[in-house]
Amino acid sequence: MAECDVEWELCKENIQPLKQGRTISALHQALCQQQEGNHTALNQKKQAFESELRMYDGDDPLDVWVRYIKWTKQTFPQGGKESNLSVLLERAVMLFTADKKYHNDVRYVELWIEFAEGCSDPMDVFRYMQAQGIGTMQAALYISWSEEHEKRGNLKMADRVFQDGVKCGAEPVDKLQVFHRALQARVCRQMMSSMTAQQRDDDDDEDEEPQRSSLAELKAKGKKKAVVPINRVNASAGYARGLQFKQPLGPKHNSRPVIFDENKVPESVPQEPKFEIWTAPPTARAKENEQKPEKWSNVKLPLKSRSGLSVAVPPPKPSFQPFVEEDDRPPAVTPCKINPAVNSVLSARKPCRLEQTPMKMLQERQQLMQTQTQEDGKSREQSMYCRDLVYSGATEFCFEELRAERYWQKHTRKLQTNSPEDSSTD
Amino acid sequence: MSLFGTNTGFGSAGTGVFGTTTTDSHNPMKDVEVTSPPDDSISCLAFSPPTMPGNFLVGGSWANDVRCWEVQDNGQTVPKAQQMHTGPVLDVCWSDDGSKVFTASCDKTAKMWDLNSNQTIQIAQHEGPIKTIHWIKAPNYSCIMTGSWDKTLKFWDTRSPNPMMSLQMPERCYCADVVYPMAVVATAERGLIVYQLENQPSEFRRIDSPLKHQHRCVAIFKDKQSKPTGFALGSIEGRVAIHYINPPNPAKDNFTFKCHRSNGTNTATPQDIYAVNAISFHPVHGTLATVGSDGRFSFWDKDARTKLKTSEQLDQPITACCFNNNGNIFAYASSYDWSKGHEYYNPQKKNYIFLRNAAEELKPRNKK
């Protein structure tokens, strides 16, 4: 185990923190396995979960998803694409949206919250949850939602969310109250510190020295009051996790309409028919890790486009002069010399798969999973195989895998009951 | 001791073994039925190589067995031998000299079956079910290639318990084909890898899938000089892609075509799309046969880009097919492929293997 200790020390920064913490033994095991490249045990466990998802016939299917996701988080401490965590979360969340019995199941609500936090716009997700009645009786929703507001500096809304929760009678009540009071305390403290800061003539040791907040956008000093933009391919994922601490939400950049939407929110909760009709929950998990290679040519500086905006539409021109280095002047539009029609690598991602509005994206996905018919505009086609079984988990299964699973299930059942071989019913 | 177990045999249970009903949809093409077919779905078929006189057919099934029949020139089939695995058999192949048959199973092992002595010995072991098995005969080595759901491709010298080589794949192996010096493996998540087998096997290229749906079957085709030059790849949604490895003009030479769909002309009702279960190339003409979940087989000429023939619909999906070494016989198996899950599985339903004369129907359109 000694090597694993070192291993943990060496990659501390890469281990994503979990709200509930990590068991040290699981962490050690996961890191050891990854270091040794021991994929087989991992693969088998993953395959076992995938099979269980498809074979489960009890009345609590959510349980399988919850366990699978929990195992994934423990086994892949760095997160990342290999874990398929975002895919799993999205699937789990979408699968049970129609299932009323899970709407206030604390496990389900927590999945939603985790999903929301991985999205580019958690607010959208929270609002959808509220509109659908998912988690409206759970304190966790209001706590996380208010946290989001607080991260964006919107303390008024943060407080209001808590009030909504109290009004709805969200459980557990005392937890909600504790967090609410904590928020109010923070608000007070902040008001106090800002007041004393204004009055400050001499330096107080309590007051912070000018500290640089980590992971925030850098403010330029000097004459050029321009700001280095934070670049993302495709630009619609406004920020990654970790950048959420200090959101420079001021009108320096293209203001996020989200902020304005907040202020439009009517007083009463939860019935809010004024909301747009949600035909499907918002989607768009953090897309930067899932990107396939694509043209960069449409991306212009600055790249803060509104979430959901298709890249094909160039973002509006900024009101300030983008900072350009003297010596290196990259062109605003990268000329695309490679004809995507010929080079299959660049054309792998078809235009229709570019960032659509979250709802449309999700509708497509839901159709894939739940309905049999495929609308492709021209002719209606119907797949004559069990799509849901094939595609239900994080990865696909082939017919033989499905059949093999059933074979093994039957086989182990036979061994357990020790009955003689008979070639009868399934 | 009865050769093929107790359940089936001549004239036991089941109807229509020898055509008691005239227009039974189990054999609408009126092809020769192989006697004593397996008791469960047939996963794979393979004919003996030309090095051996006569035609011998082996078939593996989900009843954990592999059976061997002799196919006589008059069309009669004689059951010869049978071997068992401890799990369903997923693939079979012959050695190049026709003396051994290799079988791959869900029990994570592969076995070598010596037909002369009727003995089997385990020659391979994986961490997951073995989906494909192929014999490689290179000038400087011979070995078995096994592709498994444990995401590895392993090469075995049959005399040693450890693999000669093990290659990691990005995903589980779904289908493969080998024509020396080329091997193609199609994996889950639409992965596609070409290997070159000269000197020792190594990955040659990873190809972006020409298909949008799950890969299901693959078969390599040869050029006029009998060198492997490309492959046909079938998907779970009624489409086959013809892909050349180094074509002069990829955009024009590579193409896909729809197959195993219903209601072709009738646009009022939705078109039913079925999975392509297997593809085989005719050893002489270079034309190909596809079999699908819809219970039909079709013959195609890929150079003329035309369909040569489509069969009548059988009452069960067709799960496997193969040509014999001179292309005169086309064998296809009718059994449930699990395309609709376990609800549609009827263990009482009989499974069949049919033999058809393929000498004429697979002649290419433009005869040179």
pLDDT at B8: 37
A147 has a pLDDT exceeding 50: yes
Residues A252-295: tens digit of each pLDDT: 444 444 444 444 444 444 433 334 455 555 655 555 555 556 55
Cα–Cα dist B221/A33, whole Å: 41
Q: Which of B269, B339, B348 is the best residue to mutate to test the A interface, defined by the most A CB atoms within 10 Å of its own CB? A: B339
Give the predicted TM-score (pTM) of the model: 0.70
Q: At what angle do helices A139-151 and A173-199 cross, to 10 degrees?
A: 20
> Which of the pair, B165 or A372, is modelled with greater confidence?
B165
- Residue A226 CA to residue A253 CA, distance in Å, equals 11
Out of B127, B214, B271, name the one closest to residue A44 (CB). B127
Rg of the Cα atoms in chain A? 25
Sign, CA dihedral A401-A403-A407-A409, equals positive
Which of B129-164 are b and which e, b meaning 16 or more Cβ less than 10 Å from the residue's Cβ? bbbbbbbbeeeeeebbbbbbbbbbbbbbebeeeebe
Q: Is B99 within 8 Å of chain A by CB?
A: no
A352 touches chain B (CB under 8 A): no
Provide the pLDDT confidence category of residue A376 given band limits of 50, 70 and 90.
Answer: very low
Query: Mean of the pLDDT values across residues A159-180?
Result: 86
Whole-number pLDDT of residue A292 = 59
Residue A318: predicted pLDDT: 59
Give contacts of B189 with chain A, Cβ < 8 Å. 395-396
Does residue A248 surpass a pLDDT of 50?
no
* Cβ <8 Å between B150 and A43: yes
Mark B69-95 as b/e (b = at least 16 C-beta within 10 Å): bebeeeeebebbbbbebebbbbbbbbb
Are A385 and B43 a contacting pair at CB < 8 A? no
Test A423 with B39 for CB contact under 8 angstroms.
Answer: yes
Question: Which residues from chain B sit within 8 angstroms of residue A383, using beta carbons?
Answer: 236-237, 273
A339 interfacial to chain B (CB closer than 8 Å): no
Report helix, strand and coil shares of chain B as percent, to nearest 5: 0, 45, 50
pLDDT over 90 at A72, yes or no = no
Give the nearest chain B residue to A395 (CA atoms). B189
User: Across the interface, do B274 and A382 touch by the CB < 8 Å criterion?
Assistant: no
Q: Please determine, for residue A350, whether its predicted confidence score (pLDDT) is greater than 60.
A: no
Q: Do A385 and B236 touch (CB under 8 A)?
A: yes
Scanning A233-355, the segments in alpha helix (DSSP H) are: 257-264
pLDDT at A9 over 90: no
For residue B236, which residues of chain A lie inside 8 Å, CB to CB?
A: 383, 385, 390, 398
Q: How many CB pairs under 8 A join A and B?
A: 104
Does pLDDT of A382 surpass 50?
Answer: yes
Q: Establish if A39 touches chain B: CB-CB under 8 angstroms.
A: yes
Q: How far apart, in whole angstroms, are the C-alpha atoms of residue B273 and residue B264? A: 10
Cross-chain Cβ contact A344/B208 below 8 Å = yes
The answer to whether the CB of B125 falls within 8 A of the CB of B112 is no
**Higher pLDDT among residues B113 and A51, named by residue:** B113
Report the alpha-carbon distance of residue A24 to residue A28 in Å, rounded: 6
Q: Which two tokens stand for residue A18?
A: 């979990």
What does the alpha-carbon distance between residue B101 and residue B93 come to, in Å, rounded to a whole number? Answer: 6
Backbone angles phi, psi at A296, to 5 degrees: -100, 0
Residue among A79, A66, A65 nearest A18 (CA): A79
Q: Does B127 sit within 8 Å of A344, measured CB to CB? A: no
CB B56 within 8 A of CB B78: no
Q: How many CA atoms lie within 13 A of B4 on its CB side?
A: 22
User: What is the per-residue pLDDT for B7?
Assistant: 39
CB A121: neighbour CB atoms within 10 A?
22
DSSP structural state of residue A325: -
Q: Which residue has the higher pLDDT, B176 or A11?
A: B176
pLDDT digit string, tens, across residues A312-327: 445 556 566 666 565 5
Instruction: Give strand pairing partners of B217.
Output: B234
Which among A373, A398, A408 has the least Cβ separation from residue B174? A398
Bridge partners, residue B132, by sequence: B147
* ipTM attached to this prediction: 0.89
What is the C-alpha to C-alpha distance for residues B3 and B34, in angstroms, rounded to an integer? 15
| CB-based contact, B267 to chain A, within 8 Å | yes
A200-218 average pLDDT score: 58
* Contact flag A396-B62 (C-beta cutoff 8 Å): no
Beta carbons of B274 and A384 less than 8 Å apart: yes
Distance, CA of A387 to chain centre:
25
Pinpoint the alpha helices (H) of B156-290.
250-253
Q: Report yes or no: B257 and B243 within 8 Å, Cβ to Cβ.
A: no
Contact list in B for residue A390 (CB cut-off 8 A) is 214, 236
pLDDT for the residue A59:
82
B214–A398 CB contact, under 8 Å: yes
Helix runs in B135-245, H state only: none
Question: Which of B105, B106, B205, B245 has the most A C-beta neighbours within 10 Å, making it the best mutation to test the interface with A?
Answer: B106
Tokens read off for A63: 């349980």
Q: B284: distance to nearest CA of chain A, Å?
A: 31
| Residues of chain A found within 8 Å of residue B212, distances taken between Cβ atoms | none
pLDDT in tens for each of the 368 residues of chain B?
Answer: 334 443 333 333 334 344 444 456 789 999 999 999 999 999 999 999 999 999 999 999 999 999 999 999 888 999 999 999 999 999 999 999 999 999 999 999 999 999 999 999 999 999 999 999 999 999 999 999 999 999 999 999 999 999 999 999 999 999 999 999 999 999 999 999 999 999 999 999 999 999 999 999 999 999 999 999 999 999 999 999 999 999 999 889 999 999 999 876 666 778 889 999 999 999 999 999 999 999 999 999 999 999 999 999 999 999 999 999 999 999 999 999 999 988 899 999 999 999 999 989 899 886 54
Closest Cβ–Cβ partner in A40, A342, A389 for B150: A40
Judge if the upstream peptide bond of residue A270 is cis by omega within 30 degrees of 0.
Answer: yes
Is the Cβ–Cβ distance between B357 and B329 less than 8 Å?
Answer: yes
Q: What is the pLDDT averaged over residues A76-96? A: 80
For chain A, positions 45-74, list CB contacts with chain B under 8 A. 47
Residues 180-209 of B with CB under 8 A from A: 188-189, 208
| Across A402-426, average pLDDT | 76
From the list B174, B270, B294, which residue is nearest A382 (CB)?
B270
d(CA B173, CA B184): 11
Q: In B, which residues are within 8 Å of A422 by CB distance?
A: none
Please give the single-letter amino acid code of residue A278.
W
Q: Do B62 and A373 touch (CB under 8 A)?
A: no
209-248 in chain A: CB under 8 A from chain B: none
Question: Across the strands, what pairs with B125?
Answer: B109
User: Do the Cβ atoms of B146 and B130 come closer than 8 Å?
Assistant: yes
Question: Which two three-digit tokens encode residue B87?
Answer: 């799990």
Q: Is the pLDDT of residue A379 over 80?
A: no
- Which residues 343-362 of B are in CB contact (within 8 Å) with A? 345, 347
Q: Please give the average per-residue pLDDT across A185-210, as a whole number.
A: 71
Residue B166 touches chain A, beta carbons under 8 Å:
no
Taking the C-alpha atoms of residue B273 and residue B211, their distance in angstroms, rounded to an integer, is 14
Helices then strands, each counted (H, E), chain A = 14, 2
Chain B segment 46-75 residues within 8 A of A by beta carbon are 62-63
Which residue of A57, A294, A399 to mutate against B (max B Cβ within 10 Å)? A399
Tokens of B149: 């759901």
Closest-CA residue of A relative to B190 is: A396
Q: What is the mean pLDDT of chain A?
A: 68
Q: Which residues of A touch B149 (CB under 8 A)?
A: 47, 401
Give the residue-averaged pLDDT of A121-138: 84
Q: With beta carbons under 8 A apart, name residues in chain A contacting B347.
A: 423-426
Distance from CA of B90 to the nearest CA of A (A): 9
Question: How close, in Å, is residue B250 to chain A by CA atoms?
Answer: 8
CA distance B140 to chain A (A): 32
* Least confident residue range of A8-12, A135-139, B219-223: A8-12
Contact B196, B177 (CB under 8 A): no
